[in-house]
Amino acid sequence: MAKCATTDQFKELDEFIDALPTKKGELIRVLHHAQNTYGYLPKELQVHIAKKMGVSTAKVFGVVSFYSFFSMEPKGEYDISICLGTACYVRGADKIVQEFKNELGIEVGETTADGKFSLSALRCVGACGLAPVVLVNGKVYGRVTEAEVKGIVDEYRHKD
Amino acid sequence: MINLKIDGKSVSVPAGSTVLEAARALNITIPTLCHLDLHDTKMVNKAASCRVCVVEVKGRRNLAPACATPVFEGMEVITNNIRVMEARRIVMELLISDHPKDCLSCRKAGNCELQDLSELLSLRGHSISGESVSTYKKDITPSLIRDMDKCIMCRRCETMCNEVQTVGALSGINRGFNAVVSSAFELPMDETVCTHCGQCVAVCPTGALTENDHSLKVYEALADPGKTVIVQTAPAVRVALGEAFGEEPGSIMTGKMVAALKHMGFDYVFDTNFSADLTIMEEGAELLDRLDKFLNHQDTKALPILTSCCPAWVNFIESQFPELIHIPSSAKSPQQMFGSIAKSYFAEKLGIDRKNLVVVSLMPCLAKKQEAHMEQYSVDGNQDVDLVITTREFANMIRQMNINIHELPDMEYDDPLGISTGAGMIFGSTGGVIEAAVRTAYELKTKHPLEKIEFEQLRGFEGVRLGHVDVDGFTLNIGIAHGLGNARSLLEEVRDGNPREIHAIEVMACPGGCIGGAGQPYHHGNSDILKARQKAIYEIDKNSKLRKSHENPAIIELYKTFLGEPLGERAHQLLHTHYYVKEKV
């Protein structure tokens, strides 16, 4: 695990951290950047971030495990996130989740065998007016119905 | 000053005070649970997570947590009306709704703050019973046991581990019902940067964090006719044991403690102060050797030297300061020196195999349990120190065996490993190890006796202290830290250029030194107790006939007949150790 700190495997991230005016209070921003850059936050990356930021690995893990946006598992090429916040939930987000599970054959938190899709659940994205909301790599789909699920998947299934 | 009224009584407190502090100034007790104020360590845990201390503030719609609500001019607070009392009861009922109800057999029974509070609020039955999620396995290390089903998320352990000790082994993880205090990646504590200092155990209000109790194994050894069972007692135990039996803090219980151990059936009762003297012979010789190399410009990195008596401190260096791994003294801790000598020299004397000699340690410390367990302190799978009990465990054993400690006559330690000096005694307090080392190193170097044995400037309670001692025209700069957070700041200073040119450093991991060890009777944040224990330590030293380790006749005899010279070949083999950089998270 310690090896990563000595290699320049995380060079991109290090440059980002070094460019920050202060490290204090910036952990979440750094984690966001790391997840966007590497797709997920494996243990060795969290250890590296802890050292670089001068905080304990336990604290980094505490933050990573608290926010559902952060993932310790590799995500698929297309990450489908379904909002399970209160507004989306009462408007049937659970049924949307079930439909995606059926369509992709994976559980929430898993990635398809071909690495194409992963499925995750989010807490409120702040677009309650569009409930239920689905995000695919950040693109927002609002007022999604069960019938639309297959179409959304197909939109990406045949993309390269 | 801010003027306010609590329960109709007027009080003035400094701006920035909390309602809880103002109430305390009026002698009004508001119940608390997560709150903990360890004044001298600068630690205040005010997570305000438990809401047990809620009070009514006039003009405010919701009840306010007294521990985290600042006072304001003209504030009116009610701490005890029906609304407040109902709220506290509901909070408590919710807190214990998913708490295991095995109080009868819980390790913390009798010392549990949750239990005390439940009693105070007269909770009867369980009106709220929710889903009990038990997803967390017990994490059992040689020193401590984590049973997170009993955690109430007060976060005291986290504050202690991160703010006071700066170890960073613990953090709140996950969210909602799955939230818990844990290690990075939920690893077993053994695989983390945890130093086993046990201060988390010392502040945990419930049975979530407890010591790994060895007392049953001690009973078994005592009952085994094939075993000779001996015990060593650390200096800090005798000045704290009395508290467990209603004596004033700082009561000196040496004679009665020895008597109780003999009463229990230990074949020999010896003193860790003896091996503390031995530590000084080795560490003092090493200090002089390294000082010579430093002064002759043979090796500019020969100094500073760090004391190595405290296993939590050694764990801290090994995992957090790899660049300083070469500076601690190679001398083993007094506990391990004792084990090593007992299982060689003393076993030979008795003419028995080391496997039939059981060495028990009575320690104020949890890290000593883990230290005894380390691989390098065993010979063919037989540990030099077999079992380690804490002051608390020993106090329980005294009760279980129906021993009335107050009525016992004072008894003396056995020969030869029970003979010691005042220098060995002061190992129990911050500043003591280095003072003992200076007493010996000074006389061995200058070849003339000290005019004054006490080095007052090395004593005290400040977190980081600096002292200067003139040794033969050379000013030895001495740094002292207690509490790992203070140690970290001192070590960082040394690592980053050592601008104050510190030559020798003493560190003890626990606030106050071993007197504040995690195995001592709970002091619940009251630092006056620690100060009383410290005073007693120096009192015993003052009243000792012998006060310099190199004048201990049993030590002189040991070198003459068995060990040879300090730092000699046999001494090296039995009394010294190695340190390893440990990459941990």
Q: Which of B6-15, B131-140, B456-465 has the lowest mean pLDDT?
A: B131-140
Q: Which of B15-29, B35-49, B382-396 has the lowest mean pLDDT?
A: B35-49
Give residue B478's identity as a one-letter amino acid code.
I
| pLDDT at position B135 | 59
B347 φ, ψ (degrees, to nearest 5): -60, -40
Mean pLDDT of B149-175: 93
| Cα gap B512→B480, rounded to integer Å | 11
| Cα gap A6→A14, rounded to integer Å | 12
Mean pLDDT of B389-411: 97
Determine contact: A4 vs chain B, CB below 8 A.
no
Encoding tokens for residue B142? 């040689």
Domains of chain A in sequence order: 3-66 (1.10.10), 78-157 (3.40.30.10)
What is the separation of C-alpha B140 from the centre of its chain, rounded to a whole number of angstroms? 19
> Percent helix, strand, coil in chain B (nearest 5)?
40, 15, 40
| pLDDT at position A59 | 96
| pLDDT at position B123 | 87
Strands A78-83, A139-141: pairing is unpaired
Q: pLDDT band at residue A5, thresholds of 50, 70 and 90? A: very low
B457 φ, ψ (degrees, to nearest 5): -70, -15
DSSP state at residue B37: E
Q: pLDDT band at residue A3, thresholds of 50, 70 and 90? A: very low
| Cα gap B163→B143, rounded to integer Å | 21
| Cα gap B314→B577, rounded to integer Å | 11
Answer whether A59 sits within 8 Å of B162, measured CB to CB: yes
Which chain A residue shows the shortest CA-CA distance from B585? A57
What are B512-569's pLDDT values in tens digits? Answer: 999 999 999 988 778 899 999 999 999 999 999 999 999 999 999 999 999 999 999 9
> Percent helix, strand, coil in chain A (nearest 5)?
50, 10, 40
| pLDDT at position B186 | 93
Encoding tokens for residue B561? 């007949």
| pLDDT at position B134 | 64
Average pLDDT value over all residues in chain B? 94
| pLDDT at position B381 | 94
B230 φ, ψ (degrees, to nearest 5): -120, 160
Judge whether residue A2 has pLDDT over 60. no
| pLDDT at position A138 | 86
N-terminal to C-terminal alpha carbon distance within chain B: 46
- Sign of torsion, CA B78 B82 B86 B88? positive
| pLDDT at position B136 | 65
Query: Which residues in chain B touch residue A65, judged by CB atoms under 8 angstroms apart?
Result: 173-175
Which chain B residue shows the shortest CA-CA distance from A123? B175
Select, from the ranges B123-127, B237-241, B463-467, the one with the highest average predicted confidence (pLDDT). Answer: B237-241
Q: pLDDT band at residue B133, thresholds of 50, 70 and 90? A: low
| pLDDT at position A6 | 46
Judge whether residue A43 has pLDDT over 70. yes
| Cα gap B81→B84, rounded to integer Å | 5
Q: How many CB atoms lie within 10 A of CB B211?
A: 22
Answer whether B192 sits within 8 Å of A43, measured CB to CB: no
Q: SS3 for B3?
A: strand
Q: Which of B115-129, B192-206, B219-233, B496-510 has the lowest mean pLDDT?
A: B115-129
Encoding tokens for residue A3? 């090896």
Mean pLDDT of B497-506: 95
Query: Which residues in chain A touch residue B171, judged by CB atoms under 8 angstroms apart?
Result: 56, 58-59, 61-62
Domains of chain B in sequence order: 2-120 (3.10.20.740), 301-327+420-549 (3.40.950.10)
Strands B54-57, B75-78: pairing is antiparallel
Distances (CA, A) of B386 to B155, B225, B230, B339, B535: 34, 17, 10, 8, 31
User: How many contacts does A have with B, using Cβ atoms within 8 A?
Assistant: 52
Helices (H), B360-483: 367-373, 391-400, 422-425, 432-446
H/E element, B480: strand B474-482
% chain B with pLDDT above 90: 87
| pLDDT at position B42 | 63
Q: How many angstroms away from the CA of B75 is the closest CA of chain A?
A: 34
Judge whether residue B441 has pLDDT over 50. yes
Which residue in A41, A49, A56, A60 has the most chain B C-beta atoms within 10 A of its own C-beta, making it the best mutation to test that interface? A56
Residues B214/B217/B222/B223 CA torsion (nearest 10 deg): 150
- Sign of torsion, CA B460 B466 B468 B469? positive
| Cα gap B485→B161, rounded to integer Å | 9
| Cα gap B193→B495, rounded to integer Å | 20
**CA neighbours within 13 Å on the CB side: how many for B340?**
24
Which residue in A1, A41, A65, A123 has the most chain B C-beta atoms within 10 A of its own C-beta, making it the best mutation to test that interface? A65
Query: Which residues in chain A touch residue B182, judged by CB atoms under 8 angstroms apart?
Result: 58
| pLDDT at position A21 | 92
Judge whether residue A14 has pLDDT over 90. yes
Average pLDDT value over all residues in chain A? 90
Q: How many CB atoms lie within 10 A of CB B528?
A: 12
What are B300-315's pLDDT values in tens digits? Answer: 888 999 999 999 999 9
Distances (CA, A) of B268 to B349, B350, B409, B546, B562: 13, 11, 17, 22, 20
What are B260-281's pLDDT values in tens digits? Answer: 999 999 999 999 999 999 999 9
Judge whether residue B41 has pLDDT over 70. no
Which residue in A45, A57, A122 has the most chain B C-beta atoms within 10 A of its own C-beta, making it the best mutation to test that interface? A57
Q: pLDDT band at residue B106, thresholds of 50, 70 and 90? A: very high
| pLDDT at position B227 | 97
Exposed e or buried b per residue across B500-516, where buried means at least 16 C-beta atoms within 10 angstroms of its C-beta: eebbbbbbbbbbbbbbb
Judge whether residue B574 has pLDDT over 90. yes
What are A92-127's pLDDT values in tens digits? Answer: 999 999 999 999 999 998 899 998 999 988 888 889
Give the start-end residues of each E strand in B96-242: 139-140, 144-146, 171-173, 180-182, 209-211, 228-233
